[in-house]
Amino acid sequence: FDDMIGALCEDFRARLEMPTKLEDSIEPTLTRFGHRMLQQFLEPQRIAMYRAVLAEAVHFPHFAERLYTSGPLKGVQEFAKFLRSQHNAGVLNCPDAESAASFFSEMIKASPQRRAMLGLPAFASEREKDKHVAQAVQMFLHGCLPKK
């Protein structure tokens, strides 16, 4: 089971396609990444894995630790590299890139993933999903754009 968790987390990160450079500008880059992230976090296999690990975390804490370090922690660290490069280029003002990466990820996934884990629809429509990502990107950017 431990190896399966590691493999699923590695596959998730590979399909997520972390940004490494700006595609156009920061807003569309983060928007496209937010959509990819949301799609991956809401996959039925990923939801099932989280449910299983959460249900048994008290009895098998090493599985929970493996999921956390192989999944969310590593993903935040990888995304933080991109944010740090954008901070160094003057595109963003986020000197603590790991916190910024965590905040962005949670704004994108927290509520929809929680709904999916409870067996509820993550969104009422594609329009609602698009609105969610756009709002998260806007909230993130208005907190991280350099002051002029």
For residue 7, name the pLDDT band (cuts at 50, 70, 90).
confident
The H-or-E segment that residue 139 falls in is: helix 126-144
For the chain, percent of residues with pLDDT exceeding 70 = 97
pLDDT at 79: 96
**Cα-based torsion angle of the residue sequence 7, 57, 100, 18 in order, rounded to the nearest 10 degrees:** 10
The H-or-E segment that residue 133 falls in is: helix 126-144
pLDDT at 147: 66
Please give the mean pLDDT across all residues of the chain: 91
DSSP 8-class letter at 124: S
pLDDT at 23: 80
The answer to whether 93 touches 147, Cβ cutoff 8 Å, is yes
pLDDT at residue 50 above 70? yes
For residue 18, name the pLDDT band (cuts at 50, 70, 90).
confident
pLDDT at residue 1 above 80? no
